[in-house]
Amino acid sequence: MEKPGSIIYLEDITVSFDGFQALREVDFYVDRGELRALIGPNGAGKTTLLDVICGKVRPDTGRVIFGDNTDLTTLEEHEITMLGIGRKFQTFPGPRGDAVARDRHGHRAGASALSPG
């Protein structure tokens, strides 16, 4: 599946958690200069796919090639970060302009629904 000019490609990625297959034989690529989006319902495997790319989750099968020939599945998470691959999580500005993580209901992460947030 290698594509000429691909910055990253995933080939035959399968990930299982205690018998549940989160990803099954996934092929995915992004060409240089291209922007892709992953969309889908909860449980579709979007986060798992990103976790595989970033090295947080090791696939049961497959490989993740970055650039010309760097197989990310052979690297530790911090080594992948040093290649410039990472994730940014969404935060929302708080009342004083500080960043506060919020849940899907707009409450501060970790706060109860009854506490001010």
How many domains does the chain divide into? 1
Residue predicted with more confidence, 113 or 80: 80
- 69, part of any domain: yes
Question: Are residues 32 and 8 in contact, defined by beta-carbon separation less than 8 angstroms?
Answer: no
pLDDT at 99 over 70: no
In a domain, 112, yes or no: no
Domain presence at residue 110: no
CATH number, domain of 21, equals 3.40.50.300
Domain assignment present for 97: no
Q: Which domain holds residue 71?
A: 6-82
- Asked, for residue 39, whether it belongs to a domain, the answer is yes
With a cut of 50, say whether residue 94 has pLDDT above it: yes
The 61-66 sheet, strands edge to edge: 20-31, 6-17, 61-66, 70-71
In a domain, 106, yes or no: no
pLDDT tens per residue across span 32-73: 889 999 999 999 999 999 999 999 999 999 999 999 899 999
pTM: 0.72
Please check whether residue 14 lies inside any domain of the structure: yes
